Chains A and B, each alone.
Chain A
Amino acid sequence: MSEQKKAAALISGGLDSMLAAKVVMEQGVHVEGINFFTGFCVEGHTHAIRSKDKAKPKRNNSLWVAEQLGIKLHIIDIIEEYKQVLLNPRHGYGAHMNPCLDCKIFMVDKARQWIAENGFDFIITGEVIGQRPMSQRRQTMPIVARESGAGDLLLRPLCALNLPETLPERQGWVKRDLLHDFSGRSRKPQMALAEKYGFDDYAQPAGGCCFLTDEHYSVKLVDLWKARGKRDYDLDDVMLLKVGRHIRPNPDFKLIIAREEGENRFLQGYRKQFISMEAVSHRGPLTLIDGSPSSEDLNLAARITARYGQGRDAQQVEVKVLDKDQERLLKVKPLSVDEIPEAWHV
């Protein structure tokens, strides 16, 4: 009896990777999932932070997919290594700061290393030719296989019939005629296959699963690099760009103002790392100050903070400023809406 072959499936939590894994499992291959966490994944974070989202049941879609498929899932933290992909993408960016092609190459390369370390035979992805404008085109498919080093160990079950045979097909580990020929942006073939497998509940991310494909997020990231004079970031930066109202009155500092109670609680956790301020004479949001503000800047920041609290129409608001363990009180007149130029909003 021949040994059961083993494949690692890149599981994003979306339908395509779920189907790709299922197609190969149906052929008797042992499949386990890998999910990479870059820090920019939309999955989870904003739900955890914002109070208004808490009414909705929250689930991690990659875990959910793995459970539906009955496979193990290995979630791998690639936050640090991913910096090189985002900061120096060989193939450039998409519409925003999304280095989709380099990202895919990087993840397949990581999967290649993982299968070598764990005794697996090949890699599965849910890629479909023509599905995404940057990373899933006919021209990019061989680039991903080649530059990741995976070569013909990389099987794309949903569009394999449109591509040259891979090692798993040539070796008979999977039957080529049971694979698919999906192409283009239509979701109908995937939906039909999902129905065949009885998958009636699956995530349909609009605009992808990565914050880097989001215009507003990308603008904030570029602003951060510009203000610091260098292209670098850490996980706290990544998280804080997802939270609050960002207002930059000048290049030296930026305010991050909580928009609701959940964000307020989340920002509390950063008070030791940043100067923070909040109104004490009236209810209002917590604000973090990122950068190196002068005392004049802090006064301006307090006036802006006061504008977003219940004292917005008051003649004077008392704002407590906390800088490390030093606490002081500023008495300020809140700025009016007209005094906060649109250009300050990042």
Chain B
Amino acid sequence: MNKEFLDARRLLCPLPVIRVQDKVKQLNAGDRLRVVATDPGVMQDIPAWCRINGHRVLQTEEKHGEFFIVLEVGVQ
């Protein structure tokens, strides 16, 4: 299992989702991706994107105006 990180700060939705989508394409099932963003919209959009594309959100957290999401890549 690989653990990857994606910095999507300063990007507004849907760009963080697009960056996540592009990153996940390079990963394998079971890999984990930690995303940090500043647009609060990611707290809805990235989980929604994960649900429809078969990935799993493991953790979401807001800290000092930044939003952290950890997801596990599903079968692609």
Contacts and interface: CB of A to CB of B under 8 A. Distances in A.
In the complex, which of the residues B13, B18, B21, B39 has the most CB atoms of chain A within 10 Å of its own CB atom?
B13
A47 B14 CA distance: 12
Contact of B14 (A37, A66, A67, A269): A37
Given A74-B21, A77-B15, A47 B52 contact: no
Contact of B53 (A58, A62, A72, A77): A72
Q: Is the interface of A mostly helix, strand, loop or mixed?
A: mixed
Contacts of B49: 63, 73, 75
A59 interface: yes
Nearest to A242: B12
A60 B41 contact: yes
Given A60-B48, A269-B10, A48 B39 contact: yes
Interface string B21-62: 100000000000000000111001100110111000000000
Contact of B48 (A67, A70, A76): A67
Given A59-B48, A67-B48, A44 B14 contact: yes
A48 B39 CA distance: 6
Contacts of A75: 14, 17-18, 21, 49
A16 interface: no
A43 B45 CA distance: 12
Contacts of A44: 12-14, 39, 41, 45
Contacts of A74: 21
B44 A71 contact: no
Contact of A71 (B10, B18, B45, B52): B52
B13 A60 contact: yes
Contact of A37 (B15, B44, B48, B51): B15
Interface of A: 35, 37, 41, 43-45, 47-49, 54, 57-60, 62-64, 66-67, 70-77, 239, 269
Q: Which 6 A-B pairs have the closest CB atoms?
A: A44-B13, A63-B48, A48-B39, A60-B45, A45-B12, A48-B12
16 contacts: A37-B14, A37-B18, A44-B12, A44-B39, A44-B45, A45-B13, A47-B41, A49-B12, A54-B40, A58-B40, A59-B44, A60-B48, A63-B17, A64-B48, A70-B52, A75-B14
Interface of B: 10, 12-15, 17-18, 21, 39-41, 44-45, 48-49, 51-53
